[in-house]
Structure 1
Amino acid sequence: MLLENKNAIVTGGSQGIGTAVSLMLAREGANVCLTYRSHKEEAEAIVKEIEGMGRKAICVKCDIASFTESEAVVKAALEAFGRVDILVNNAGMNWDGVCWKMTEEQWDRVLEVNLKGYFNFTRHTAPLLKDQKYGRIVNVTSINGLRGKFGQSNYSASKAGIIGYTKAVAKELGAFGITVNAVAPGLIETPMLKESEARDKIVDMAMAEIVLKRVGEPDDLANLIAFLASDKAKHITGECIKVDGGQYI
């Protein structure tokens, strides 16, 4: 197993990509603390599934945009597991609108969650990783942070910010044996996509771009994250790796 005896925090672990990542890390041997905001029952079900694998797991309610709530999650993980080795910043949101109609609230909330939320968790986890001279941080961004997307200037800006943040933090923490990388998914088949009234239109537009002619699955991303969180990737840092079936090409 890639992650035996390691302890991980996964933000937004109660659904979609976060669920796949939480379960994948557990399959590879890690204990997992996952956060949720409104999907408590789903989060508790994931905890039970991880415990069924013989791992430890907890779930903590958290608005990742809150500096204090994020700190409480890290403290809970530390209390439950004794140490933290891996941080996967995954939780995020979108609130779309063209730039000439977007409200200040739309802009601020997306940046607070998608960018400040990643800072919050990194800020509270980094001192622990630094002191133990070991750690893995993986940030989930998006190909739309690389290329931009119509109607998503706030989302694209936040995801582009994550890429720059990843590179800067990789430089800051590298001397302490900590790697920091980003993964950039294209279209992934998540519950949010399945429930969207515009799903068919979204998929058709993406399929026109995707070279491999299939919509990505959460495990496609989770497999890469598990690798980056392991010692197999100990000499990889500051990278942004696309998982998009060639959608960005």
Structure 2
Amino acid sequence: MLRKVLTLVLVGAVASAGLVASGSAEVTAARSAAIDVLFVGNSLIGTRAITGADTPDVIREMARERGRTIRVTKAIRYGSTLQKSWDTGLSQRPLTAGRRYDVILLQEFSVLVATDPGRVRRTLLATYTQALARSLKPGGRVILFKNWALVNPRPFGSRAANVAAIDTNYARLAAALPLPVAIAPVSDAFESVVARRGTTPLIVKDGKHPTGQAIYLDAAILYGMFFGESPADLPNLYLRADTARYLREVASRTLAA
């Protein structure tokens, strides 16, 4: 399924840039096309950690190193829900100014989808849907950023129960949105790392926010979705080569699942 999603995102970016191509020419056209991405979220994508750059900026640097261009618009405020971001005008402005995007990424408050999916559904359907539909380019996609489980799983009895709620509720939200939508499997990639190495490499001592490794992993997944290609050959950037390679392998396996 995700292979199909990656192809659709890539083809959408090519189509919205007004490019007609086939075969190897399609790949060349896709590489030359800049894409416009709006990021709406909070500290889970806004944290800079050791990187000096947040998740959108790390993706942009990955793209630059690969000869691609992402025009980034951010509506990011720490502690905000998607509804609060709209009510304060933070996300409302870029979604009502007539600008259009190849990708609109929505990242909800850390635990809200797992614990109160009805509230998130109301926000998406009643507050965002019409603005999202107006703001997508032809072939564009909404991407739901599937948040990771925090170190403390409360109110769930275990991490596994928390992750199961995350999986179920994001799938239902995606199905409810009457728009082209994909889920960024960030939680899935986190669990692959956690199963082998625990939460410490990815989550800082507050039990919630991403480390530099987590930001890199998130960025690799999103890069793969934005451009419809494996993140296996992305640059190491600020990480040691062996660490970056491992995280790219996790991202690649997750996207291919």
Q: TM-score, normalised by structure 2?
A: 0.49
Which protein, 1 or 2, shows the higher relative CO under an 8 Å CA cutoff with sep ≥ 6? 2
